[in-house]
Structure 1
């Protein structure tokens, strides 16, 4: 057993090193090196020792705050999201955490905020999953690492909404599901995505259904900017689907999402 774990760690080390060598683009090399600092490697070893990650594969996506890698789990492929602790967008992270009652007690060091953000994304994905919204189901977090179900097929991630040309009928179906998801997120999970657009929605190619991703910044309705974030999410979806001839009124959409909540609050007073 011990030998297998040591092999796994060696495999991860090799993959990390080869990942650095393969990236010819110097910007990308810098990004990769920022991701795999010593503490992150140790955390990956911990996940390897627990048998959660058996080997780390190639990069699925590179963002401002995090990189996502494909990994072999015990049974299925996993997505491993690693937040960079020396993140340049650290200040914008703070905006989403400061008003969130779930994170009242965190210390405001860069590291603590990134750890809190990783936990926050885990909790948000779990809440969305529990109310029946299609998201990558989260598995666990370790420091700045979030392990979740891989949203894709044959080791290829599902495409982003922005990269898919939808048939008219499919576009209407995707729009209706997203409309329902925004409402369900608000009413049942008590969350607002807060960064919803064609860049944070995957399209599952078998069913042609949307999957919401990147929920680190999602906030609860108590957040001081919750309403502003909700209206922005709605605006982005309405704007995007206009190109498919889907006409929607933003105010009507907003009322559809929030009206039951408002009526419920009114009744309970």
Structure 2
């Protein structure tokens, strides 16, 4: 069977599965138009594998749409809530910024330079970084599975409604929340061995008055030469936000020393 026919067959099988098991709640033309915009043939084939494996049982609507990816709400067969992140495979501008965060990472030595292959590597990097976070006890989404440009992870929220971003909801106690964020930063550096590199109010969720760190695809291993500038940027962003919220922020150099090597309780 030719590759083209194989992809067509995968498309047909997945479409039938959507229709037979009501994977999407609203089967109107607009919903399918949006789905098709993201689900190219290779993505559809990847989705089919995730359904066949049992990773996903029901796929519902979009809960977030950004420049790089869309995130869907989903359920597994036990009705555990999932977030399914699907990276766009046609975004050349996105590809341009990826290489600086992949180059020099010993986990990814042989990287094809075409856009699709780089996005697959980017997705795998996010999955691996989430695994490091989970093993280190960082409060972040638990990763479940990935394939190609699709990442399946824990859904942070309730009943299909995602937890608010920090920029959308000010914590009840900004000082305590700030302190918790810096503890997560220390765990990421000292236990997970990574620096987030893009930490701000845009990728911290407020869930049950605790911070949940997400979007870790760009995070670098602490052994990488870029790691130190990245943690400095994270500290600057976090301090700037919480200072505006009335928290007493720590001296950047003191905080950096504590995050990267301190063992005593800063608080």
Q: Tell me the TM-score range normalised by the shorter chain.
A: 0.7 to 0.9
* Map of 1:259 onto structure 2: 261
TM-superposed deviation, 1:49: 1.2
Q: CA–CA distance in 1 between the matches of 2:29 and 2:107?
A: 37
Q: Indicate if the aligned counterparts of 1:19 and 1:58 stay in contact, CA closer than 8 A.
A: no
Aligned residues: 248
* Map of 1:231 onto structure 2: 232
TM-superposed deviation, 1:18: 3.8
TM-superposed deviation, 1:16: 9.9
Could you list the structure 1 runs, at least 4 aligned residues long, displaced by more than 6 angstroms after superposition.
none
TM-superposed deviation, 1:15: 3.4
Unaligned stretches of 5+ in structure 1? 24-28, 262-269
- Pair 1:203 & 2:206 matched: yes
Q: Report the TM-score when normalising by structure 2.
A: 0.86
Alpha carbons of structure 1 residues 184 and 128: separation in structure 2 relative to 1, 3 Å: same
Q: CA–CA distance in 1 between the matches of 2:201 and 2:84?
A: 22
Q: CA–CA distance in 1 between the matches of 2:25 and 2:113?
A: 30
* Map of 2:55 onto structure 1: 52
* Map of 1:264 onto structure 2: none
Q: CA–CA distance in 2 between the matches of 1:166 and 1:215?
A: 22
- Give the structure with the larger helix fraction: 1
> Among 65, 70, 77, which residue is 2:68 paired with?
65
Deviations 1:79-119 (A, max 9, x none): 00001111231111111011211111222221111111111
- Pair 1:216 & 2:204 matched: no
Q: CA–CA distance in 2 between the matches of 1:51 and 1:199?
A: 32
- Pair 1:79 & 2:83 matched: yes
Q: Secondary structure at the match of 1:118?
A: helix
Q: CA–CA distance in 2 between the matches of 1:18 and 1:41?
A: 17
Q: Report the TM-score when normalising by structure 1.
A: 0.85
Aligned pairs for 1:48-197 within 5 A: 48-75=51-78, 76-87=80-91, 88-167=93-172, 170-197=173-200
Unaligned stretches of 5+ in structure 2? 1-13
Q: Indicate if the aligned counterparts of 1:80 and 1:146 stay in contact, CA closer than 8 A.
A: yes
Q: Indicate if the aligned counterparts of 2:25 and 2:61 stay in contact, CA closer than 8 A.
A: no
Q: Secondary structure at the match of 2:192?
A: coil
Q: Indicate if the aligned counterparts of 2:198 and 2:234 stay in contact, CA closer than 8 A.
A: yes
* Map of 1:247 onto structure 2: 248
